[in-house]
Structure 1
Amino acid sequence: MTTSSTAGPRQSAKKAATKTASAGGSRKATATKTTAGTIAGRLRVKDDESPWSEEEIGEVREVLLEEIEQHRVELKLAEDELDDLLRASGDGSGDDQADAGAKTAEREHEISVAANARASLRQAEHALEQLDAGTYGICENCGNPIGKLRLQARPRATLCMTCQEKQDRH
């Protein structure tokens, strides 16, 4: 299977995961409302921001849960594709150099996709753990608030903009 042909099933699986995650969304939001209310009061924000509301915490939680499900599906698909490619590589004795190179590139691509999905999954799970612990939104580098706007745009963020920019430069 080529990389372009895996995009279809991978995209379909992502859509299915999103539908599955969002189908149970209202139940999850109701079930976590009490927890979110107690968490909202403990989360730190920047001086110029309003405190987190129950609704905002619920929305962030839902996004994180959906991301976790999507990354699990993506990781499973990438690992399955990689397994198929590795099994197929054993019978490539008649391949010319171009075919061997293309297969190597495809394997490397799937390894990269799996690694990215695994890292994103870990980040989303970590953010959810922080949310439950009441430490969500605190920069892991400097200890200052990350900021609601940043977290609403990127719920998995663990660094404030200043620390993220410093890290990106190095």
Structure 2
Amino acid sequence: MAAKKTAPKQSAPKKTAQKTTASKGSTQKKASKPKSTASKSTAGKSAAKKPLFDKKYLDKQRRLLMEERSRYVTSATRLKAEADSLVEEREPGDVQFDEESGEGDTLAVERERDLALSAHARAAVDQIDAALARIDNGTYGICLVSGKPIPRQRLNAIPWAAERVEHKAGGF
């Protein structure tokens, strides 16, 4: 009887091994590369065709950008005019270089500050113009560095953002 018990036990593992091999083969057939590649390419095509933002959101962002542009242009023009007026009001002989009078230095510092702020405002106008161009060509909201989408929260805070925060901050 010991022989009869041993024989079925030996044949059972062989059948189990065959079943396992057969099931592995069928699993491998189900997960073939052509099907997964086809689903990935289909997903990629649909994602590429679908716009990142809807028209309503882009129109809202365009309005915000135009309002900000107007503010920055006004600010830059006003600051430049103030800087120019500081030079016009001062005559060449008015500056004193003694310890009691610091007016010459104050006017120069004030003028340089106005010119720097005006330049900053003009740079913001350039960034806004670039964002408006990205809306027109369909690339608004795509990071210029990584090509990944810029989060909507960042675009709501800074509509002219051209980079994801990690690239702007220098993290990558």
TM-score range, shorter chain: 0.5 to 0.7
C-alpha deviation, 1:73, in angstroms: 0.7
Q: Which has the larger radius of gyration?
A: 2
Say if 1:137 and 1:158, in contact at 8 Å, map to a contact too.
Answer: yes
Q: Give the distance between the partners of 1:68 and 1:138, measured in 2 at CA.
A: 21
Q: Deviation string for 1:100-123 (max 9, x for gaps)? A: 110111011111111111011101
2:163 matched to 1:159?
yes
The alignment of Structure 1 onto Structure 2 pairs a total of residues equal to: 120
Identity %: 27
- How much is the aligned-residue C-alpha RMSD, in angstroms? 1.9
TM-score normalized with structure 1 length: 0.65
Name 1:118's counterpart in structure 2.
122
**Following superposition, which runs of at least 4 residues in structure 1 exceed 4 angstroms of deviation?**
none
Name 1:79's counterpart in structure 2.
80
Structure 2: runs of 5 or more not aligned: 1-48
Q: Deviation string for 1:15-72 (max 9, x for gaps)? A: xxxxxxxxxxxxxxxxxxxxxxxxxx7643xxxxxxx232211111100000111111
TM-score normalized with structure 2 length: 0.64
Say if 2:94 and 2:104, in contact at 8 Å, map to a contact too.
Answer: no
Structure 1: runs of 5 or more not aligned: 1-40, 45-51
1:58-69 correspondence to structure 2 within 5 Å: 58-69=59-70
2:94 matched to 1:94?
yes
Letter in 2 for 1:117: A
